[in-house]
Amino acid sequence: MSLNSEEGIISQTVSSSSSCHYQCIATLSGNSSYVSGLAVDGDSLYVASSDGHIRLWPLAMAMREESTQGDVSSFTVAVTGSSVKCLVATGDGLVSSHQDGTIRVWRRAGVTGSRRLALRAVLPTAADCLRAFLLPGSYVEVRRHKKRAWVHHVDAVTALALSPDGESMYSVSWDRSLKAWRLPGLRCAESVAAAHDDAINAVVAAPDGHVYTASADRTVKAWRRHPGQKKLSLVCVMERHGAAVNALALGAGGRVLYSGACDRSVVVWESSAAGGAGADVRMVATATLRGHARAVLCLAADGDVVCSGSADRTVRVWRRGAAAAPYTCLAVLDGHGGAVKSLALARGGAGRDHCCACHVEESSSCGCAALVCSGSLDCDVKLWRVTVSGF
């Protein structure tokens, strides 16, 4: 693993008194295959790769100025037999989704000082499979003349999302299904077999109870379990993209939805619902963020900051602003040698204050700074500090 430093200045187009300073403070090299997932848990960055390995990178080591001249060690915390498609941090461990259609639940090893993860369960569990086997009508047709229990994904599990209350988890797959899992019991509670007309690439869960899915069928769909109902219901279908939708992210406290697609754009969706609390949302496209030269593959958002990673090998950092100038591209992070496949936003340092109503750190000299982690098909992870002044 090696660390290097790259930096640049980009002036905002809205105000000449505002500027954005970005710096690549670390590069994590040495992965044997491309980076397929990132997850930040406190001061730790978990890196998943297509060879099935999950590694841990202590962010604090990279944040120290003296580390920019030396090496930072990563730790292999888990090894699986299938390519990792997605990582989600749970607070006491991780959940990973895989090419083989399974979901693995990990917990921190109980050994003092150990950084390894212990495998808690593989979903669906044997108990779930047994229940499905015993119940009539539990098998569904997955391909012509082939059936399997509804608790199984039959293709790669592309994305995971935890509900804000931590009680549920949602998974989506190239098999076009959306599944809901009860986390305490690790049971599959529900499966929407044909949630989309094509492979599903992304899922996010909002604080208001809505679940959003994005698909290669060019649509984004909103789902919700209404009071008194046990099943998810389709609330609305959002059609704005001209190609497969690859990524979703929630910003502004879950009130704004971002979708990124192969049409090189990021569409901003906001609720137009006039009803009170608990009402179904009606999402309206309020802006389209353009600038990438190739497909948008991943998104990450926190507060008013949203980052988009692309097959054009760059990461664009956007900020949500006032009505007159709703979005500004603050920075174009250019340094990867391959498509940017995964993104994560970190707070960038313990003991710092936060500002701008978002999870970014306060800088005494320049305003607000976000720590952006980007993973690429070039097998590297880059850590960027992006500082914006003039707020």
199-214 residue pLDDT tens: 999 999 999 999 999 9
Sorting pLDDT into bands at 50, 70 and 90, what band is 228?
confident
Collapsing DSSP to helix, strand or coil, 66 comes out as helix
Rounded to 5 degrees, φ, ψ at 210 are -80, 145
CA atoms within 13 A on the CB side of 24: 22
CA 175, CA 142: separation in Å to the nearest integer?
8
Give yes or no for a contact between 312 and 369, defined as CB atoms under 8 angstroms apart.
Answer: no
Among 72-81, 148-157, 276-285, name the one with the lowest average pLDDT: 276-285
Q: Once rounded to an integer, what is the mean pLDDT over residues 142-163?
A: 84
Is it the case that residue 307 has pLDDT exceeding 80?
A: yes
pLDDT at residue 140 in the model: 61
Q: Which of 64, 71, 107, 100 is nearest to 84 (CA)?
A: 100
pLDDT tens figures, 322-359 = 765 689 999 999 999 999 999 999 754 433 433 333 34
When pLDDT is cut at 50, 70 and 90, the band that residue 235 belongs to is very high
d(CA 30, CA 8): 25
Whether the full predicted model's pTM is greater than 0.85, yes or no, is: yes
Complete DSSP assignment for 167-178: SEEEEEETTS-E
Q: How far is it, in rounded angstroms, from Cα 151 to Cα 171?
A: 11
pLDDT value of residue 277: 53
**Mean residue pLDDT across the chain:** 84
Please report the pLDDT score of residue 370 as a whole number.
82
Judge whether residue 376 has pLDDT over 50.
yes
CA-to-CA distance for 232 and 222, rounded, in angstroms?
10
Superfamily of domain 6-389: YVTN repeat-like/Quinoprotein amine dehydrogenase (2.130.10.10)
Residue 2: is its pLDDT beyond 90?
Answer: no
Give the neighbor-by-neighbor strand order of the sheet with 35-41: 35-41, 44-49, 53-58, 75-79
- Say whether 202 sits in a helix, a strand or coil: strand
Go through 72-81 and write b for each residue having 16 or more CB atoms within 10 A of its CB, e for each that does not: bebeebbebe
Q: Can you tell me which residue has the tokens 């920019």?
A: 68
pLDDT band, residue 154 (cuts 50/70/90) = very high
- Distance (Å, rounded) from C-alpha 246 to C-alpha 262? 7
Helix (H, G, I), strand (E, B) or coil at 263: coil
What pLDDT, on the 0 to 100 scale, is given for residue 5?
40
Average pLDDT over residues 267-292: 81
- What gap in Å lies between CA 357 and CA 304, rounded to an integer? 8
Tell me what pLDDT residue 313 has: 98
**Higher per-residue confidence, 111 vs 167:** 167
**DSSP states along 203-247:** EEE-TTS-EEEEETTSEEEEEE--TT-SS-EEEEEEE--SS-EEE
**Percent share of the chain, pLDDT over 90:** 61
At residue 175, what are phi and psi to the nearest 5 degrees?
-80, 5
Can you give the residue ranges of every domain in the chain?
Answer: 6-389
pLDDT at 29: 86
Give the residue, 192 or 110, on which the prediction is more confident: 192
- Nearest-angstrom CA–CA distance, 63 and 6: 15
309: closest CA among 268, 338, 331, 341? 341
Q: Which pLDDT tens digit goes with each residue over 33-91?
A: 999 999 999 889 999 999 999 999 888 776 654 344 445 567 899 999 999 999 999 98
Is there a contact between 382 and 373 (Cβ–Cβ < 8 Å)? yes
